[in-house]
Structure 1
Amino acid sequence: MSNVHKILFILLISSAWLSAFTALHAEQAIQPGESDSDYTIRAYRLPEDESMRLDGLLTESFWKNVPAITNFTQQDPQEGGQPTQKTEIYVAYDESNLYIGAMLYDSSPDQILAYQKRRDQGLGADDRFMWILDTFNSGRNAYFFETNPAALRGDGLLTVGQGRNLNKAWDGIWDVRTNISDEGWSVEVVIPFRSLDFDPQNSTWGINFQRTVRRDNEEILWAGWRRNQGLFRPQNAGLLTGITGISQGLGLEVKPYFTANRNVSQPLNEAKFTDSSADAGFDVSYSFTPSIRASLTINTDFAETEVDQRRVNLTRFPLRFPEQRDFFLEGSGIFSFAPASGIEPFFSRRIGLSGGQPVPITGGLRILGREGNTNLGFYQIRTAENDFTPAEDFTAARISQNIFSESSVGLIYTRRGSSDNGAGETGHTLGTDLELGTSSFLGDKNLQFQAFFVWHNRGSQVSSSDFLDRTSRGVRLSYPNFPFSGSVSYREFGSAFDPEVGFTPRNGFRRLQPNANYRWVFPDNRILRQWEVGVRYEYLTNLDFEPETIVYRFTPVEVEFESGEQIQFSVERNFEQIFESFDILRDGTVIILPGEYTNWGLRTEFNTARFRKISGGIEYNYEGFWTGTRDGLQLRGTVRPYRGFNLSGSWSRSHVELPGGTSFTTNLFVFRSNLDFTPDIAFTQILQYDDVSDLVGFYNRFRWTLTPGSDLFLVYTRNWIDTGNRLQAIESRAAVKLNYTHRF
């Protein structure tokens, strides 16, 4: 039996054993509907003659008739402890809307923190109130919402699988108001049922709440307050009952847009080119069922999409830049495939982008949703021809079936082909993944098993006809718990594996990757909050079992202080074997020859507490770098002079010394300004420069949310190149975009 067949045989036996083992425990897991009566609340239905004025004051008379949720418990710093601040939550509804009221008492209201105002901005520095709605009571998926004392709106789609998958690209139509008083801060929320998918026959939803008292880094939860649980695990949520007689309307949503653009391009030593245009398009969405929605997009426009953050690449492999376009991000949870396993058969940035530059999308169809225990997603997109790429058709389909209480099995398919009567070979990709999980292993522990297999045809980029060369496969077992957590994974990627609508930075390898972490907490210590140690190992060979990468990493110090400051220290031993020359800077100036390279590295990091008006961090690493050394320094800082105004910046520097007097230094500067006048009016500026590309980029975006779902965007981008003597402008773009959402 060959080595390949031996490994496949071992994987098959291991997968079968682990599947049976995990499935056994999954069947024993507590069903999402089984909840202690302490974590069940009945929603109050408003009489027809009552309504809510959204002002954050909780002065409407009906709030007095709504039963209050008060039984909150500390999760951090003292698991199971009594919260230091009192919290009261109220839930009501009528035919069209869900209403949530909250009174978050605070004994020191002058210390309430609320720096952020812009939608979906991180609240790591603010007091916050978060909640989830599992509208199908499945324990698997939920809507996520959050706000702060400044009435910021944050939301997303939560998917449970290998860890936490929160997709914050979903921008639901809802509203919130807050008020700060001598007693603390209060919240009023209105969520139209038209913004939610749900089963009208099911009157019980999953629901949970969490509050953060930021100055003490105190986390307070209603249900699922143990460290192994939490808000982001819908299977540990409480129950909201009595939701009956509600309506989504006709389920039809129309969103037209208008945009005007002006682009000026002047590459070095070339003539200036100016182009002005105006365009219009629309998105139409219709809910075939309360839980399945189809969206048609015509002349899709992404003028408002934020610029990519610049990075300097000194590795042998391409960098992955995240998707930032809302049209694709909204379905990313359903299309998530074997998360945490390093496999991405569908990478939406392959659609409508080429070399980081936009390719026009003439139209597309998207279907997302679930029916019973089946989750489904579908894209059919057509891109237009331009000077660099032909017109193309893209298809992506995903279906997964929920099994047991916390497990699933799924399929994914993608297609990429020319729209020009089949010119060129069409690329097809097909994959399957399995996730088996339980939150009741050994009583109350989490255990998850995962397996995947992906194949693609030859397509236009791959010439190999060998089946295994065009496949990837792997298994992963994880134990995400407190105080001990760990995982082990094994993956194989064929030498020609490169799905045309996927992302694969590296192929032709076998990789074994175990890691483990242990965390201590000190709830009664005035200095230390927690201390974590970790070990990580990676053993990667080529398909002939020759070692290419071996990494040992030990992190003896990862400490969070009671004040919120953090320090970390790690040591690493790294082995690399390369069989071809490597051009580090991609310009022929620094070449690494084939051979074996063994090096050691040290890394240390310090971060101040994020809730301070002036916060920051420093990271330094010194390591062997091929035949020489590299020292890297990163400085980060944020200044918040007043509420809604944030200035941040970072400087990343790498200095490399190689034998023979060869050395070079790279620098990357990023500055960002967020000026948020209100939660509905935001102005963002981003300035970036690196001395590898010698490009300076300046990005500006103004967003005014006229009403929830309707926005005005003003965007201006300008790029310069550093010629050594001066900065020469090479490109500028200006855009105005107005969209409007109407629901029927």
Structure 2
Amino acid sequence: MKTKLGILGLILFFGHISAQKVIASDSIVRRQMNAVRTDKSIKIDGVIDEEVWATASIADKFIEFQPANGKPESENQKSVVKVLYDNTGIYIAATLYDNEPDKIARQLTERDVINNDDFFGVFINGYNDKQQSYEFIVTAAGVQFDAKATNDNGEDDTWNGIWYSAVKITDKGWNVEMKIPYFELRFPKDNVQKWGVNFFRNIQRERKKLAWNHIDNTKGSFTLYDGILNGIENVKTPTRLSFTPYFSTYVNNFDGKTEMNVNGGMDLKYGINDAFTFDMTLVPDFGQANFDNSILNLTPFEQQFSEQRSFFMEGTELFSKGDMFYSRRVGGEPSIYPTIDENETLTEYPGKVKLFNAFKISGRTKKGLGIGIFNGVTEKMDATIQNNETGETRKETVEPWTNYNVLVFDQRFGGNSSITLVNTSTMRMGNFRDANATGLLWNIANKKNTYNYYGNIKGSWVKDDGTTFGARGSAGIGKFSGNHRFEVNANLVDKNWDINDLGFSTLTNYGNHNAWYGYRILQPKGNLNNMYLNFNLNYYHRLEPFLNQKLVFNHNNSFTNKKFQSFGGGVEFTPYGEKDIYEPRTFGRYLNVPGYFDSWLFFESDSRKKLQYNVSIDYYAYDQKGRNQVIPSLYLRYRASDKLNLIWKFNPVFSNNEVGFAGRNADQIYMGRRQRNTYENSVTGQYTFNNKMALSLAFRHYFSDVTYKQFYSLNNDGSLNENTAYNPNLAGTYNSWNVDLRYSWWFAPGSQLTLLYRNATSNYLEVSRMRFKNNFNELFDAPMINNLSLRVTYFLDYNRVKNWF
């Protein structure tokens, strides 16, 4: 439906009742519709046959936003949506016409995975502030996907809600029915509700995306383009209280020893009011979290791992503000290593700290103030040390009882702007290190949502033999609308910045100044559906003492043609080389790195095909004879049927004559010239029985070896002198192997049974350039972990349990 700005009114269509309105707000057209109250029972079965649906107003006349921005839906693929509500939740029925129903894509996947599928979805924003929505999607195969969508973090699919849906394929297309309980939504406690809402449809065979309220892809984010849902009045929302008890049992075999254990615990969720929720995990069990993809890390910095534990993954959008909270610190590795005398041996050292309990409170007030509170407590952990002469053992605490806290205040305003205050603290019992960090963040957009002004000021305090204060800050401006876009920003981080007790930080003592220009075609033109051209200029310098580090120019581009094949590439170079202030591992020193010219190409085939392949090649050529890096990659995905999907990834890296840290003593810092080859293979496969049951296989083998060819002493001016006297054996080969075979069954809403078998091993050998066969023999001679586990979780809603009695 095409409308002009400023039109307000009721448009009636022959043959049905419609309460669609169109209003203009900040130059964005917002359609409106009314929800109708019902006291009739509605069966969620995909058959829209209850009489009450005939009384509902409709939302129709969807508008395409990809690839053709602004094109009305075709007559053969109309979409009609109706909304009802009662005191327990809202009901949505969608009739999605399709003149070729046999071509509707409906690949079966696990929950929260969308692959080669048609789908229908709804975005709901109970505060109507255009900044955060709950997203509920169901595919034509009946698979549910849900997420939280925010302007700051995009789509967060780690959130899992409890809602109900069903689909039905018909000779005219397909139908969807949903029920979304109020306890999964957040909205102010008003007698009359006014929600932001939008409905989406994807037609996979044409890669066509449509929305009820038009999304203009030339500016802003999806959440800015909500329509308005009126009509929900005087609802008596039920008590938001749920329990998810779990039972798990494990059988572990390692190095000839077999152990069995049984665990039990519970997650609790309580709605303090309609806006705020209390989440708590009691006696947590994370035994079925995925393996970390460990690597041979030769950099000066620790490897960062993604979160695998569901409690820390769900509902954390407030806590991720400002990148100051790294949840893997809670229940991670001990903070210290024990002191050992010459005649002692460390016999037991805990790899992980045990989490005692954790809770979080989060929500947002009617005036847009978001509040987040997180608290976690970890237990005391001891290492065991044995005296080699007497045989006696002693304990030494490597992590005391520790309390972790995060506090966030996030004020939204103006449709797409916010100011945020974040504080994190780590308090350890006894004479151990404590830490605190605070950040003030802002992101201000103009009324037309074409420009934004952003920045932050942060401070860190570490108390460990005195108090050390560190700081960082940034500021920038950007244009994020239209074909021509740009961004300019500056970042400063002092030498004492340290949030690693509860956050994650690496680079310090630097200034970084960036300029970016982008040109894009967002409408189909000629043989292309879209085109993105980006140009970046980055300048880095050391703060104390001042030192020019490097100037980097980057250009990258990508194109998608009418066959939905994507391709592109880019170049990057440092015309003056780099003064690397981190590789020497010593404050005030640096290593001269020659300039490089990097170029890359990629191609991605049409994902709608049974066989999809993605290939890329990245080549670094340094201004130094014989020094280069080659990074090819290959991705193959074969969809054998709508139930069976197989993926193979191969990611090798070949680094020739790179120079890196080799060691140091009181007088010298040593660098080594080395050859490094890395191969990473992964295979994943999944057979999905139905939309609630699947069998999955995940395999990964990572192999990296490094050979040192020559050693040098590092001079104060960053240059190197050959040093033949320093010649340690630093050659090494690292292998990591893991296999996960998992059966998963969602046997009831929010309730899951998971049977998991794992096989894993790893080794590090002080040799390199081994023959492939010999390397595997050494790997499989190492002790292997064999683990079989069963975990059952069951969702209990207080209101349903209450009715049992």
TM-score (norm 1): 0.86
Tell me: CA distance 1:426–1:593, structure 2 relative to 1, closer, same or farther (3 Å). Answer: closer
Q: Is the 8 A contact 1:335 1:398 kept in 2?
A: yes
Q: Is the 8 A contact 2:23 2:29 kept in 1?
A: no
1:278 maps to: 262
- Equivalent residue for 2:358? 364
> Counterpart in 2 of 1:142?
133
Task: State how 1:324-339 maps to structure 2 within 5 Å.
Answer: 324-338=308-322
Shift of 1:56: 1.1
Instruction: State how 1:167-206 maps to structure 2 within 5 Å.
Output: 167-201=156-190, 202-206=192-196
1:281 deviates by 1.2
* Aligned twin of 2:37: 45
- Paired residue for 1:208? 198
2:550 & 2:333 partners in 1: Cα distance?
A: 31
User: 1:115 matched to which residue of 2?
Assistant: 107
Q: Give secondary structure in 2 for the equivalent of 1:64.
A: helix
Cα distance 1:249–1:532, how it changes in 2: closer, same or farther (>3 A)?
Answer: same
Pick one of 346, 352, 370 that aligns with 2:325: 346
* Cα pair 1:228 1:446 within 8 Å, conserved: no
2:52 to 55, 62, 85: 62
Q: Which residue of 1 aligns with 2:693?
A: 681
- CA separation of 1:33/1:428 partners in 2, compared to 1, >3 Å: closer, same or farther? same
For residues 189-268 of structure 1, what are the structure 2 equivalents within 5 Å? 189-201=178-190, 202-228=192-218, 233-266=222-255
The residue number in structure 2 matching 1:92 is 84
Superposed CA deviations along residues 446-494 of structure 1, whole A, max 9, x for unmatched, are 222211111111234x9774x4xx1111112222223223322211111
Does 1:577 pair with 2:574? Answer: no
1:307 aligned partner: 291
1:661, distance to aligned residue in structure 2 (A): 9.5
Q: Does 1:520 align with 2:532?
A: no
- CA deviations on 1:103-124 (whole Å, 9 max, x unpaired) are 111122222212242111144x
- In structure 2, what is the Cα distance between the partners aligned to 1:122 and 1:542? 45
1:171 is displaced (CA, Å) by 0.5
Once residues 36 and 652 of structure 1 are traced to their aligned partners in structure 2, the CA distance between those partners, rounded to angstroms, is: 44
Name the larger-Rg structure: 2
CA distance in 1, matches of 2:567, 2:252: 46
CA shift, 1:291, in A, is 0.6
Residues 533-552 of structure 1: pairs in structure 2 closer than 5 A: 533-543=533-543, 544-552=545-553
Deviation per residue, 1:38-90 (Å, 9 max, x gap):
711101222x3x22222112222222222221121121222221223211111
Q: 2:761 aligns with which of 711, 716, 720?
A: 720
- 1:733 equivalent to 2:722? Answer no
Alignment length (residue pairs): 679
Decide whether aligned partners of structure 1 residues 412 and 742 sit closer, same or farther in structure 2, where only a CA change above 3 A counts.
same
- In 2: Cα distance, 1:405 partner to 1:581 partner: 44
Indicate the larger mover: 55-64 or 682-691: 55-64
Question: How far does residue 236 in structure 1 lie from its aligned partner after superposition?
Answer: 1.9
Could you tell me which residue of structure 1 aligns to residue 401 of structure 2?
A: 391
Q: 2:455 aligns with which of 414, 439, 451?
A: 451
User: Does structure 1 conserve the Cα–Cα contact (< 8 Å) formed by 2:636 and 2:648?
Assistant: yes
Report the secondary structure of 2:283's partner residue: strand
> Does structure 2 conserve the Cα–Cα contact (< 8 Å) formed by 1:32 and 1:235?
no
Q: RMSD value over aligned CA atoms?
A: 2.7
Query: How many angstroms apart in 2 are the aligned matches of 1:446 and 1:315?
Result: 40
Confirm or deny: 8 A CA contact 1:303 1:715 kept in the other structure: no
CA displacement at 1:358 relative to structure 2: 4.5
Distance 1:313 1:721, change over 3 A: closer
Q: 1:136 is paired with a residue of what secondary structure?
A: coil
Cα shift at 1:312: 6.2
Tell me which amino acid in the other structure corresponds to 1:454.
Answer: K
For structure 2, list consecutive stretches of 5 or more residues without a partner in the other structure. Answer: 1-21, 335-349, 384-397, 659-671, 705-733, 764-773, 799-805
Which runs of no fewer than 5 residues in structure 1 stay unpaired? 1-29, 267-271, 339-343, 584-591
| Selected match of 2:435 from 427, 437, 442 | 427
User: Does 1:78 pair with 2:75?
Assistant: no
Cα offset, 1:347, TM superposition: 1.1
Find out whether 1:402 has 2:402 as its counterpart: no
Moved more, 516-525 or 495-504: 516-525
TM-score of the pair, normalised by structure 2: 0.80
Letter in 2 for 1:307: F
Q: Distance in 2 between matches of 1:326 and 1:350?
A: 15
Partners of 2:744 and 2:36 lie apart in 1 by 36
Residues in 1 aligned to 2:548 and 2:745: alpha-carbon distance in whole angstroms: 54
SS in 1 for 2:317: helix
Kindly state the Cα deviation for residue 521 of structure 1 after the two structures are TM-superposed: 4.4
Q: Which amino acid aligns with 2:602?
A: E
Partner in structure 2 of residue 166 of structure 1: 155
Offset of residue 31 of structure 1: 11
**How far off is 1:662 after superposition?**
5.2
8 Å CA contact retained: 2:263, 2:285:
no
Output the CA distance in 1 between the equivalents of 2:650 and 2:611: 17
- Aligned twin of 1:132: 123
Bigger mean CA deviation after superposition, 147-156 or 197-206: 197-206
For 1:566, the equivalent position in structure 2 comes to: 566
For residues 581 and 309 of structure 1, what CA distance do their matches in structure 2 show?
23
Counterpart position of 1:154:
145
**2:7 alignment partner in structure 1:** none
SS at match of 2:476: strand
1:596–1:655 Cα change, 3 Å = closer
Q: 1:593 to 1:76 in 2, by over 3 A?
A: same
SS of corresponding position for 2:437: strand
Amino acid at match of 2:193: S
**Which amino acid letter does the alignment assign opposite residue 512 of structure 2?**
R
Alpha-carbon distance, 1:102 to partner:
0.9
Partner of 1:620: 617
Shift, 1:672, TM fit: 0.9
Secondary structure of the corresponding residue to residue 183 of structure 2? helix
Q: CA deviation at 1:311?
A: 5.4
SS at match of 2:82: strand
Q: Displacement, 1:682?
A: 2.3
Q: Give yes or no for contact 2:64–2:214 (8 Å, CA) kept in 1.
A: no
Report SS of the residue matched to 2:508. Answer: coil
Whether the aligned pair in 2 keeps the contact of 1:72 and 1:220 (CA below 8 Å) is yes
Distance 1:644 1:318 in 2: 40
- SS of 1:333's equivalent? coil
In structure 1, C-alpha distance between the alignment counterparts of 2:788 and 2:23, rounded to whole Å: 53
**Gap change, CA 1:580 and 1:326, over 3 Å in 2:** closer
1:638 aligns with 637
Deviation at residue 381 of structure 1 after TM alignment: 0.7
Give the letter for the 2:325 counterpart: F
